[in-house]
Amino acid sequence: MNSDIALEVKNIYISYRTIKKLSFKSLFFFKGQKQETKQVIENINFHVKKGEILGIIGKNGSGKSTLLRAIAGIISLDKGEIDTKHNRVSLLALRIGFNEELTGYDNIFLSGMLLGINKKIINERIDEVIEFSELKEDIYKQLKTYSSGMKLKLAFSISVIFEPDIILIDEVLSVGDIKFKEKSYNKMKELIMDENKTVLIVSHDLNILSELCDNVIWIDNKKIKKIGKAKEVIEDYKNYNLNMNN
């Protein structure tokens, strides 16, 4: 086993099962629900080295967010394997991993425990999380009263202060007020300098990915179209989209 590998994704397939749309009339005569299967991910293979920053690009619906959720253990696989090498994994995405009925303060404890962090460490670092989040007294309010920007601040603060081994970031670096976006961006740059932190970023902001990432995966039509150095893959992706629109 290569100790430099933080994450391996091996030949994974993921599909969603949905109920076929019914007419109002059919509700009274319907005897069974007809399910449709939609393939979302097909035969995805890659590995990420410890300390690597990997970007994931592709058009909407290509399977980027599904891939991150599978790595986080939120979505089950139809086939294949995801090996996190016993690393702690945190998914940073809007509306993921929080209990809306609990306060922001209680959600810090909940998220910390889900990451496998003991209560003593959470108590030692909770003030740092609150300070970074800039939520002040709002931290003691129920999460259902928070705006999306406030939830983002809390989620990002938990992820970067509790320092999981692998951080999965799904389209959140471009959300929030200007001041916090800059703060978040600078914190991400700090993480890049840490050889022990592995980061996967899904984003439509190609400039951010070009600057932050070592490598980029381009997903198209459920499969990996290209994987390689960030600037090279992003340039090919831009040219492809330009040609498709002409």
How confident is the model over 159-179, as a mean pLDDT?
A: 78
Tokens of 16: 């969603």
Give the start-to-end residue ranges of the domains of the chain.
5-245
**CATH level 2 (architecture), domain 5-245:** 3-Layer(aba) Sandwich (3.40)
pLDDT(183) > 90: no
pLDDT digits (tens, 9 = 90+) for 16-25: 876 665 555 5
Residue 153 confidence (pLDDT): 86
Non-local (6+) Cβ contacts of 102 within 8 A are 110, 142, 143
Query: pTM here?
Result: 0.79
As a whole number of angstroms, the distance between CA 99 and CA 94 comes to: 12
pLDDT digits (tens, 9 = 90+) for 77-113: 999 999 999 998 888 776 566 899 999 999 999 988 8
As a whole number of angstroms, the distance between CA 221 and CA 24 comes to: 33
pLDDT digits (tens, 9 = 90+) for 201-241: 998 889 989 988 999 999 998 999 999 999 999 999 999 98
- Is residue 172 within 8 A of residue 90, CB to CB? The reply is no
pLDDT digits (tens, 9 = 90+) for 23-63: 555 555 555 556 678 899 999 999 999 999 999 999 988 99
Tokens of 109: 């404890």
For residue 36, the one-letter residue type is E
pLDDT(145) > 70: yes
